[in-house]
Amino acid sequence: MLAEIITIGDEILIGQIVDTNSAWMAKQLNDAGIRVKQISSVSDNREHILTALAEAAERADIILVTGGLGPTKDDITKKTIAEYFNVGMVENQEALNSVLRIFSKYNRPMLEINRMQAQVPANCEVIINKNGTAPGMWFNEDGKIYVSMPGVPFEMMYMMEEEVIPKLIASFKLPVIIHKTILTAGEGESFLAEKIADIEDALPDYIKLAYLPKLGQVRLRLSAYGDNEQLLKSEINQYAAKLIERIGSAVVTDEDVPLEKAILDFMAARNLTLSVAESCTGGYISHLFTQHPGSSKVFFGGAISYSYELKESLLGVNHETLLKFGAVSEETVKEMVAGALKNFKSDYAIAVTGIAGPDGGMPDKPVGTVWIAAASAKKTIAKKFTFGNKRQQNIERSAASALTMLNTLLRDV
C-alpha cells in the first residue's frame, strides 16, 4: 500500500513553522507496513488543495491530510474537501457533543464559530478529537482512503496512534517492512560504497541498502519488504553482520540512534564519564548529550570558556600559552582538555576552540579554523579543522568532528 501526506498551511510555506508532522506520520505509516510515496505542502488556497488531492489520488492508495481545520476563515480544508467529493456539509452530533464537553470542562462560553466545527462533509466518518475541537475525518471513496486531521501536532498524533493506524491495519492486508540501521563515523560515503560494493550487489530484490550521510557520519539502512517477518529479520541481520565485519572500526553501532547517544550508551555500559571544554561551540556539544534521558550517568558537564580569563581560571590554561599561541591553537586546546580531565574529574574529555565567524578571522587563522582535542588519562589526540564561513555550520561541524574523535579514542583500547 502506498500513502501520500499533504500538509496544508501558509505558515509552513513561508518558513514560520517547521513541518514536523510529516516526518512523524511517515514513521508511523512505515512501521505499519505502509510505504509513503510522496509528501507535499500546499497553501491555504482552494485550488491548490483540490489539485493536491487529485494528484495524490493518482499516486497513492491512502491520502493523509493535516492542517486547516480550525474555526477561523483561513481554515478552508473541510469545505474544500467537501467540494472535492461534491457533497454538502452536515452537523455531526458526536462531534458537536465533543466540542460542548471541551467548553464545559473549561467553563467557557461556546461561540457559534466553535459550533461550526461540528460541521463536516456529508460522506465522512468522524474521528473524535479528544484533545481539541476540530474533528478528524475518514473518507472511503473510489477505493481510496482519505484522512483529514488537525495540524496541531499532539492532536494529530493522538488520532494517528489511537484511531487512524489501527483502522488502516484493519482495512488492508499490509506487508511487513523491516529496517536495520548501521551508524558509521570517520569514513566517507564513497569509500564505504566501494568497500561494500559486492555485498550490496548480492542483496536480493526485496532488500534495499540506502546511504544517509551527515557531517562525517554515514548511516547505512537496510530495508526488507515481504510477508514473513521472522525470515526477513533473519536475512537482514545476516547482511548487516556482513556489512559490519567488512566496514570494521568505522562502525559505531547497529542501532538507529544519533552519534552522541551511541557514545553515551557505550560509555554507560563501561561506567565511563565525560566532561567538555567548549569555546566556539558555546554549549552545543553539551546540549547534544543532555537532550538524551539518562545522560547524567556519563556526562558530568564542563565549561563554556570564551574568554582568556575563563580558560585560565576554569580550565587551568597557562596565560603564557594564550599569549604566545592564541586561543585557537593546538597548545591551547590540549591544555583545555587536560584541564577538563583534571578539574572535572572525568575519565574522558573533549575540548573545542575556534573561530565560528562570520568575523574574527585572521590571515593565518581564517574564519572556520577550529582545533579539537579528545583525551583520557592515557592518551590525547588533537586535530585542526578548516571549515567554511557560516557560523551555525561551523558550530555543527565542530561538534560532529569532536564526537567522531571521541568515538575513535574510546574504541582505541
Q: Which residue has the cell 537482514?
A: 236
CA-CA distance, 374 to 349, in Å (whole number)?
A: 6
Rg for the chain, CA atoms, rounded: 27
Full-model pTM:
0.80
Q: Which amino acid is at 287?
A: H
Which residue type does 48 have? H
- How many CB atoms neighbour CB 116 within 10 A? 14
Q: What is the pLDDT of residue 81?
A: 97
Find out whether 207 and 190 touch, Cβ atoms under 8 Å. no
**Which helix (H) or strand (E) covers residue 241, if one does?**
helix 229-247
Same domain, 64 and 140: yes
Q: Do 20 and 56 belong together in one domain?
A: yes
Residue 228 sits in a domain whose CATH number is: 3.30.70.2860
pLDDT at 107: 77
Residues paired with 41 in a beta bridge = 7
Return d(Cα 141, Cα 241) in angstroms, integer: 45
Question: What proportion of the chain, given as a percentage, has pLDDT over 90?
Answer: 88
Residue where a domain stops, chosen among 154, 171, 188: 171
Same-domain check for residues 181 and 277: no
| Residues 165 and 36 placed together within one structural domain of the fold | yes
Rounded to 5 degrees, what are φ and ψ at 201?
-65, -25
In this prediction, residue 202 carries a pLDDT of 97
d(CA 251, CA 245): 9
Q: How many domains does the chain have?
A: 3
Specify whether 70 is located in the same domain as 141. yes
For residue 375, the surrounding DSSP H or E stretch is strand 369-376
Measure the CA–CA gap between 380 and 374, rounded to whole angstroms: 6
298/346 same-domain check: yes
What's residue 413's pLDDT? 64
C-alpha–C-alpha distance, residues 14 and 2, integer Å: 28
State the CB neighbour count (10 A cutoff) for residue 38.
13
As a whole number of Å, the end-to-end CA separation of the chain is 48
What's the CA gap between 299 and 286, in Å, rounded? 8
For residues 281 and 350, membership in a common domain is answered with yes
The total number of residues shown for the chain amounts to 413
H/E stretch holding 41 reads strand 35-42
Q: Of the residues 207, 222, 253, which one is the last residue of a structural domain?
A: 253
Same domain, 6 and 135: yes
CATH number at residue 90: 3.40.980.10
Write out pLDDT tens, residues 230-269.
999 999 999 999 999 999 999 999 999 999 999 999 999 9
Same domain for 342 and 366? yes
Give pLDDT < 70 ranges for the chain.
Answer: 413
Which one of 130, 149, 171 terminates a domain? 171
DSSP three-state, residue 153: helix
Same domain, 209 and 119: no
pLDDT for 90 equals: 95
pLDDT score, position 72: 78
Q: Let me know whether 303 and 201 are in one domain.
A: no
215 and 67 assigned to the same domain: no
Give the pLDDT of residue 412: 84
Residue-number span of the structural domain to which 190 is assigned: 176-253
